[in-house]
Structure 1
Amino acid sequence: MNYDLKKLINGTDIRGVAISNEEGLNVTLDKNSIELLSFSFAVWLSQKTCKKTNELKISVGMDSRLSGHDLKNAVVSGLCKTGAKVYDCGLSSTPSMFMTTIFDEFRCDGAIMLTASHLPYMYNGMKFFTINGGINKEDLEKIVDIAVEGRNSEKFNNETYARNVILKDLLSIYSDYLYNIIIKDFKGDLKDGELLKGSKIIVDAGNGVGGFFAHKILKKLGADIEGSQYLNPDGNFPGHIPNPEAKEAIESIKEAVLKNRAHLGIIFDTDVDRAAIIDENGNEINRNSLIALLSAIVLEQHPNSTIVTDSVTSNGLTEFIEKDLKGKHHRFKRGYKNVINEAIRLNSIGEECHLAIETSGHAALKENYFLDDGAYLICKILSKYIKLKKENKLIYDLIKNLKKPLESKEFRTKILKEDFKTIGNEIISNFSNYCSTIEGWNIVPKNYEGIRVNCENEKGWFLLRMSLHEPLLVLNIESDVPEGCENIKEKVNNYIKKYEESVKLFN
């Protein structure tokens, strides 16, 4: 039991298999584990807030996964055993669950969201929030330790606890909040219901939670949402996996935009903490393009601000932020929580930073509690879209100067040793000596993760790093020369061969 619970830790989340499937995956996250972890979260929160557990208010929500209802009932059971007041928010987005610590209707001490983001239907997981945002890994480890130690406690095994549960329609409250974010800049300009009149904007929710955005926000603003797809929550995800990074998902929304002659297409992941868009010409605005677009919007409002991103962003993005937008690009580590925490740290030491954004689509703004919120991200873009429309300009005009590489590839290879972190760090640490033997390779200063190298001959760069959670080496490459990525990969493989007993080559 001790070992299994600790294996469920995935960064700052709990993740596991909640439904067995035809591939033979065994259930690793069941109702008993969920109940125990929820109980332990309340105990940890009591220690954190110096409140008794029966003085706590904790909310719980879920995405559209098939296991959601059963696991939500387990969360409620675990929390009620501590005497806490529970707000059952039903179908919710991850960002909206954090907002239960902010909204006057709730003012919760903590929140639990049941989601496994974009993973297949058989998975589920837990995200934990306090008023300070999502918890860090160290806090999650403490919660799991409490669970391991307290699973046999009399209080947890109490069968006569009182239920103190209040049902709440959080998505309606949250939708009103987002709606007001958009209209506040246009008071007295147009009637609220006419701000998007004449615009066809379609949503692809991937059968996750994000369908509310089409009906409760876009339609209310006057947009034509005909052609929107996969809006109904369905944990089987029959259309495609709801992941704005997945090629299948992007092709699906792109096809819908062009077929319906829409002005804009919006795609969310399952729990709506990530998003991407497609413009009227079918241009994908995600990854570097999305970061560039948000940077343009933020730096117009906050000139000279620092933009924090993860480590795999392009050289073209740096040039765009620093030369075209006159901002500062701070390239940090992979992991949305790493990026957010770095932005908070910079502000704490006096360096103004208003945007933390990862290439995956996690975008957090200072004005919104540094909460990675896909729906809030889209609201910022829609506000700018409305203003540009009056000037007969397009969203894509904001990033037309962003330079894109001829080639962009990512390669992954498995580390074969059980102690994969040690061997991975050794490979990366010794790699700098090899780089000095390759003509035209120059290591980039201030590497916060792995080693990033500029390549003169291939007119590009690469980053050799370890995966955040898996026993993998990852190689990200961009080049402006045909076959440049392959050339760089082969040179890196010449070094990797020295460790052939410990790691496979990139292919």
Structure 2
Amino acid sequence: MDLLKLQNGSDIRGVAVDGVAGESVTLTEDIVYQFARGFATYLQDKYDKQDLKVAVGHDSRISADALKQAVCKGLKDSGCVVYDCGLASTPSMFMSTIFEEFKSDGAIMITASHLPYNRNGMKFFDVDGGLNKKDITEIITNAKEENYIEGNGSIKQQDLLSVYSNFLIETIRKQVNDKTNFDTPLSGMKIVVDAGNGAGGFYAEKVLQPLGADTTGSQFLDPDGMFPNHIPNPENKEAMEAICKAVLDNNADLGLIFDTDVDRSSAVDKDGNEISRNAIVALSAALVCEEHPGTTIVTDSVTSDELHEFLENVLKVKHLRFKRGYKNVINKAVELNAEGIDAQLAIETSGHAALKENYFLDDGAYLATKIVIKAAKMHAQGKSIDTLIKDLKHPLEEQELRFQINTPDFSEYGEKVLSALETYPTKQPQFKLAKENYEGLRFSFDETNGNGWLLLRKSLHDPILALNIESNSAGGCKKIAAQLYEFLKDYELLNLDSLHSFMNK
């Protein structure tokens, strides 16, 4: 097969095991072996260094161990010293390039994030951070052309998660700085964790409990790659309902939920209210702006108008609504800082949050740690963390729809649709085009025409146009959708079934 088809932006993604009808295996042990060797060549070309050290870890997926062994062998055959870290989180893999105990030159995480059990993939890091799309293309090209370095390396078992957990523990101790209870600053707090049977169970057992927190009621901490309870995904409705219920059932002060490989997280307040999507952006910004007033917060394109108002008018920070894709928001924040514009936080509504103070690494456990630190300080004052975002308003209605583009030239066709839509306000002036559109097209609508906004954009990788609508009037999303339908109905290669279904509900 064409190995480039396994590239998914800055990741590798594919089907790793049989079991789902119509989905044949595309990511085999032989293929990940080739990618591992391609990565070793990439590292040597970049750093011109012999005796490369590369860390390898994985999440809880059922295909993880077999793929890990193939990856480790590929690196060993390229002469690398391989650190087999076993179960790990994606952010901890990058930290293996930082920790003195490792000082690896690169790292590979075997994961497919929140995708179904039959999928798997690879994420790559070097000492400069997560690799970008062009770097992944180079690795795949090395594999296709068998551009390999030869050697006889070694494989060593290493406990990365314990080192990483100790880093988080010390961060909490130092920043809470409870002089009367320095070692266990979370004593008296009840915090429940939902790991969704992914890799995040360590946070309850290796971080919170040693700091004195009562984690009774934490759930789905054991790794299980079949994900029998719910999808490990802070954006998933069932997952958020599960952690909200756990907080209420156990009378907890705080709830935390992670995705499969722990590069995303969200929270729940003591009253069982979820702090996710726009709210997790608001909370993260509130934490950051205490130390960096007036900083710029870079978010993805689908953030709400209410969040924009909260960031700019309540927190008094600058909000740059950029593109979907965690690497897009991270790279934009890095770019702003290089230009002399202070940008301390890059965050998606999905829960990917990267802070400048933490190498701009999208790290769900680090974000959870920042939340825990603030929650502990406020708990000592008899306050709760939800008060930080009490002024954040929420839209009355919101809807997300996806339209399949039924042509092999889907990217070109999607551009054709968007290009025509951009001129549509000349015929339909109720469509008010936003001043800045870094991705797709965003229009606002007055109270007569739906009292909200829509964003239509191309999917990052799939043959899909994605639509987000929000409104502050009952029935407003349907009214906005109906107006967009009048434009889209003439595009025969768009599957508008989801739009029809929503309008007729």
Matching residue within 353, 363, 384 for 2:353: 363
Which one-letter code corresponds to 2:327 in the other structure? K
SS at match of 1:172: helix
Work out whether residues 38 and 139 of structure 2, in 8 Å CA contact, stay in contact via their aligned partners in 1: yes
Partner of 1:498: 490
* Residue-by-residue CA offset, 1:136-183 (whole Å, 9 max, x unaligned): 0011011101111117x7x67xxxx63411211000000000111111
Give the match for residue 18 of structure 1.
Answer: 16
Q: Is the 8 A contact 2:344 2:357 kept in 1?
A: yes
Alignment partners' CA distance in 1, 2:326 and 2:361: 10
Is it true that 1:120 corresponds to 2:112 in the alignment? no
Q: Distance in 2 between matches of 1:253 and 1:150?
A: 47
Amino acid of the structure 2 residue aligned with 1:253: I
Q: Which residue of 2 aligns with 1:312?
A: 302
What CA distance in whole angstroms lies between the structure 1 residues aligned with 2:65 and 2:485? Answer: 48
Give 1:52-451 correspondences, 5 Å limit: 52=50, 55-150=51-146, 162-187=152-177, 189-451=179-441
Give distance in 2, aligned partners of 1:412 and 1:22: 22
Q: CA deviation at 1:296?
A: 0.7
The secondary structure found in structure 1 opposite 2:25 is coil
Is the partner of 1:121 in helix, strand or coil?
coil
Determine if contact 1:253/1:265 at 8 Å carries over to the other structure. Answer: yes
Partner Cα separation in structure 2 for residue 307 and residue 317 of structure 1: 11
| Residues in 1 aligned to 2:165 and 2:495: alpha-carbon distance in whole angstroms | 48
- In 2, Cα distance between equivalents of 1:429 and 1:49: 43
Contact 1:110 1:130 (C-alpha < 8 Å) held by counterparts: yes
Residue 25 of structure 1 and its aligned partner are, at CA, apart by: 2.0
Q: Where does structure 2 lack aligned partners over 5 or more consecutive residues?
A: 501-505
The residue matched to 2:423 in structure 1 has which SS? Answer: helix
CA distance in 1: counterparts of 2:178 and 2:225, whole angstroms: 42
TM-score by length of 1: 0.96
Q: Is the Cα contact below 8 Å between 1:423 and 1:502 reproduced in 2?
A: no
Larger CA deviation: 325-334 vs 14-23: 14-23
- Structure 2 CA distance, aligned partners of 1:190 and 1:167? 38
Deviation at 1:51, TM superposition (A): 1.7
Superposed displacement of residue 460, structure 1: 1.1
1:282-335 alpha-carbon deviations (Å, 9 max, x no partner): 111001000000111101110000000000000111110111011000000000
RMSD, matched Cα: 1.3
- Following the alignment from structure 2 to structure 1, what is the Cα–Cα distance between the partners of residues 431 and 339? 34
How many Å separate the matches in 2 of 1:221 and 1:22?
Answer: 42
State the one-letter code of the partner of 2:441.
I
CA distance in structure 2 between the aligned counterparts of 1:70 and 1:316, rounded to whole angstroms: 46
Spell out, residue by residue over 1:24-52, the C-alpha distance to the aligned partner (whole angstroms, 9 max, x if none): 42110010001010011001111011123
User: C-alpha separation between the residues in 2 aligned to 1:306 and 1:125?
Assistant: 33
| Pairwise CA distance, 1:441 | 2.5
Q: Indicate if the aligned counterparts of 1:416 and 1:504 stay in contact, CA closer than 8 A.
A: no
Secondary structure at the aligned position of 1:355 is classed as: strand
Structure 2 length-normalised TM: 0.96
1:368 partner amino acid: N
Partner Cα separation in structure 1 for residue 177 and residue 189 of structure 2 = 19
CA gap of 1:438–1:187, structure 2 versus 1, over 3 A, is same
How far is the alpha carbon of 1:503 from its aligned partner? 4.7
| Residue 41 of structure 2: aligned partner | 43
Query: Whole-Å Cα distance in 2 between the matches of residues 265 and 45 of structure 1?
Result: 40
In the alignment, the residues of structure 1 paired with residue 178 and residue 349 of structure 2 have an alpha-carbon distance, to the nearest angstrom, of 37
Q: Hey, what's the Cα distance between the residues in 2 that align with 1:212 and 1:503?
A: 43
Aligned match of 1:463: 455
Q: Distance in 2 between matches of 1:188 and 1:389?
A: 12
Cα distance, 1:22 vs structure 2: 4.5
Note the alpha carbon deviations across 1:317-368, whole angstroms, 9 max, x for none: 1110111011000000000000000000000001100000000000000000
Output the amino acid matched with 1:274.
R
Please state whether the residue corresponding to 1:174 is helix, strand or coil. helix
Which residue identity lines up with residue 107 of structure 2 in the other structure? A
- Answer yes or no: is the 8 Å Cα contact 2:401–2:468 preserved in 1: yes
The answer (yes or no) to whether the contact 1:415–1:504 under 8 Å persists in 2 is: no
**Alignment-derived partner of residue 30 in structure 1:** 28
TM superposition shift of 1:101: 0.7
CA distance in 2, matches of 1:76, 1:501: 45
Contact 2:268 2:275 in 1 (8 A): yes
Question: Does the 8 Å CA contact 1:496/1:503 hold for their aligned counterparts?
Answer: no
Q: Is the 8 A contact 1:12 1:140 kept in 2?
A: yes
Measure, in 1, the Cα distance between the counterparts of 2:129 and 2:176: 30
> What secondary structure is seen at the aligned counterpart in 2 of 1:498?
coil
- Structure 1 stretches of at least 4 aligned residues deviating more than 6 Å after TM superposition: none
Q: Structure 2 CA distance, aligned partners of 1:71 and 1:401? A: 47
Q: Which residue of 1 aligns with 2:503?
A: none
Distance in 2, matches of 1:278 and 1:11, equals 31
Q: Is residue 90–residue 109 contact of structure 2 (8 Å, CA) maintained in 1?
A: yes
Residue 489 of structure 2 aligns to a residue in which SS? helix
1:498 Cα offset (Å): 2.0
